[in-house]
Amino acid sequence: MVFAVILAGGVGTRMGSNDMPKQFLEIKNKPIISYTVDKFILDPEFEKVIVLTPKNWIDHTKQILKKYSGESEKIVVIEGGLTRNETIMNSIEYIKSNYGLDDDTIIVTHDSVRPFVTHRIIEENIKAAKKFGACDTVICATDTIVESEDENYISAIPNRKKMYQGQTPQSFKAKNLYETYNSLTDEEKEILTDAAKILTIKGQKVKLIKGETYNIKITYPYDLRIARSLLEETFDD
């Protein structure tokens, strides 16, 4: 079985809003999260689209999705965790409890505030996860990457040709991800930056999938302006 896992745990502090999480902000009279969820509802490969959100936003999320994305039986909203990876583990626990977990169970994890993901990216994630066990959506780095150990001086400048910018989806064979995460020490869990690192820290390979420059994550007010422009082009063309 294949499951979409939509990560909607953001609280919007970098957007300048302490009251409304950024995934609920509207563009062209529709919340960002609904644009994102719609991309996964329409794909017949998904058994369920699991949306994970803070406990106090579960009811609001359900109401939003019911209003803007319809009463799809594919959508389920559950509580996320304290961190990104704990949230993903909660989704796997839900799958394990309701459907069982085997070596072929696939999860496609995606940020709720990346509404411009394409059908091509989603399909390539599913295929790569089935074939390779794990994959990460990336684009080539266009700027020089500067590393600083002390946040004051340059400690290294990596070869840009080997550098990529991570996006989502990130997709995995759920059972392996779950077991690998639970095998990590507390110290290893503390240095995790995303789900792919759960595997790379243990020497497992993660396949690269080509993303798109417009598959942006809406984090700052500037991103919101870009998103509005992209959606206006989409709907007005």
In a domain, 161, yes or no: no
Mean predicted lDDT score pLDDT of the chain: 91
In a domain, 55, yes or no: yes
pLDDT tens readout for residues 19-36: 678 899 988 889 999 999
Domain that holds residue 199: 2-137+166-236
In a domain, 225, yes or no: yes
In a domain, 151, yes or no: no
Total structural domains within the chain: 1
Alpha helices in the chain (DSSP H): 32-41, 58-69, 84-98, 119-132, 174-183, 186-190, 195-200, 221-236
Q: For residue 165, give the 3-state DSSP assignment.
A: strand
**70 falls in which pLDDT band (50, 70, 90)?**
confident
The CATH number of the domain holding residue 94 is 3.90.550.10
pLDDT tens readout for residues 142-180: 999 999 999 999 999 999 999 999 999 999 999 999 999
pLDDT tens readout for residues 126-145: 999 999 999 999 999 999 99
In a domain, 78, yes or no: yes
Percentage of the residues of the chain whose pLDDT score is greater than 90: 81
In a domain, 42, yes or no: yes
Which range scores top for mean pLDDT: 3-12, 128-137, 189-198, 214-223? 128-137
In a domain, 156, yes or no: no
pLDDT tens readout for residues 72-87: 889 999 999 999 999 9
In a domain, 142, yes or no: no
Backbone φ and ψ of 159, nearest 5°: -65, 115
Is pLDDT at 11 greater than 80 in this prediction?
A: no
